[in-house]
Amino acid sequence: MLVLRRRDPAPGEAMRRRQFITLLGGTVACWPLSTRAQQSAKPPTIGYLSSTAASADGQWTAAFARRLHELGWVDGRTVQIEYRWVHPERLGASADELVRLKASVIVTGSTPATIAAKRATSVIPIVFAVAGDPVGSGLVASLARPGGNVTGSSVQSVDAVSKRIELLRDVVPNLRRLAVLVNETHPAAMREAEEAQAAAYALGLEVAPVHVRRADDIAPALAALDGHADVLYVSSDPLLFSNANAISALALKARLPDVRGFREEVVAGGLLSYGPSYADLFRRAAELVDKILRGTQPADIPVEQPTKFELAINLKTAIALGLTIPHNLLVLADEVIE
């Protein structure tokens, strides 16, 4: 008869078995908890604040979201983007709302929006996709060392302002009087207007400042020129950008060739634009957000300068004004609207 005998474990073996079973059980027990923790972890929130309409800067925010996606931040999955397109008077309230939502970072589409965000928080990182004069506006201490919780891309460029006036001279050879349309409530736009006046005076041109404060001021202000200007320089700011179509129609009616800072304003009927690629600036803003979400402090990220500039020409508007665009400008143009 075969008798099976149980072998007693060697000294210490029983203890090792109990330790292994305890460890295994503990590990298995931890798996569901870890999984649930990962599933319940809320993705970071990115707040976007702008005082222009969604239809106006939609192309730029789309470029921003695409670049974020390429960097691994997918809206609705690995990150939540809260967009706020509001009237300028609502910027402060909307900035406060994004703070209450505990946004991980706030992205702004204009200098006024950035000022509102900075007033709302000194803790949450702020990235301005565009700002006319971040140092002069008090957004950062310096371009190289922003300090605080704000950084981004500056679009201030005296060279760009001078170039716009030179473009008008190329198209209107007998140019003598330049009107400068500016929103006087926007500090960065006022500085740009001052630069435009200085550049015009340096070229021996007369200057007619045209100041507005709200959309209803634009039509009467341009009508008041009444033949006292040969061309129109339109300063860059959210108010004038949002009313690009109306300004184009008024300039055409007054027979005023105009130059802008945004190619979208030329698409809306303006004659010429020269300025940074705003789609590129918003892509760069996404890269700055990526750095911040991965741990870099805004104070350690220098304010960037645009590297890509675009010239856009509307041939339909030129024909309507009876102007001939020089061939060399057509060759240099990044976009020609026919």
pLDDT tens, 50-68? 988 787 788 899 999 999 9
Provide the pLDDT for residue 245.
Answer: 95
With beta carbons less than 8 A apart as the criterion, state whether 149 and 121 touch.
Answer: yes
For residues 243-247, average pLDDT:
95
Closest by CA to 320, choosing from 263, 261, 249, is 249
User: What local confidence, expressed as pLDDT, does residue 187 receive?
Assistant: 86
Q: Would the pLDDT of 1 be above 90?
A: no
pLDDT of residue 319: 97
Model pLDDT for residues 124-150, shown as the tens digit of each residue? 999 999 988 899 889 999 999 999 999
**Mean of pLDDT values over 299-328:** 95
Task: State which amino acid sits at residue 241.
Answer: F
For residue 205 the two structure tokens come to 């041109």
Q: Which residue has the higher pLDDT, 277 or 14?
A: 277
pLDDT band of 328, cuts 50, 70, 90? very high
CA pair distance 76, 88, nearest whole angstrom: 28
* pTM attached to this predicted model: 0.79
* pLDDT value for 188: 85
Mean pLDDT of the chain: 88
- Do the beta carbons of residue 320 and residue 167 sit within 8 Å? no
The span from the CA of 265 to the CA of 56, in Å, is 10
Contact 179, 206 (CB under 8 A): no
- The reported pLDDT for the residue numbered 7 is 46
Report CA torsion sign: 332, 230, 187, 249.
negative
Could you tell me the domains of the chain? Answer: 45-156+278-300 (3.40.50.2300), 158-276+309-337 (3.40.50.2300)
Q: Say which DSSP state 124 is in.
A: S
Q: State the pLDDT confidence band at 237, using cuts at 50, 70 and 90.
A: confident
Tens digits of residue pLDDT in 93-113: 999 999 999 999 999 998 899
pLDDT band, residue 20 (cuts 50/70/90): very low
Mean pLDDT across the stretch 4-13? 46
Can you tell me the mean pLDDT for 308-319? Answer: 95
Assigned token pair, 322: 């009876």
Please report which confidence band the pLDDT of residue 6 belongs to, taking 50, 70 and 90 as the band edges.
very low
pLDDT digits (tens, 9 = 90+) for 274-310: 999 999 999 999 999 999 999 999 999 999 999 889 9
CA–CA distances in Å: residue 266 to residues 62, 257, 275? 20, 11, 12
Residue 190 has pLDDT above 60, yes or no: yes
- Full strand arrangement of the beta sheet holding 258-260: 206-212, 177-183, 231-234, 258-260, 272-276, 309-314, 335-337
Q: How far is CA 305 from the centre of its chain?
A: 13
Q: Starting at the earlier edge strand, list the strands of the sheet with 150-154.
A: 80-85, 45-50, 105-108, 126-131, 150-154
Q: What is the DSSP letter of 79?
A: B
11 pLDDT exceeds 70?
no
Between 7 and 128, the higher pLDDT residue: 128
- For residues 159-169, average pLDDT: 92
The percentage of the chain sitting over the pLDDT mark of 90, rounded to a whole number, equals 73
pLDDT digits (tens, 9 = 90+) for 26-46: 443 333 333 333 344 789 999
Q: Can you state the angle between helices 158-171 and 187-202, rounded to 10 degrees? A: 50
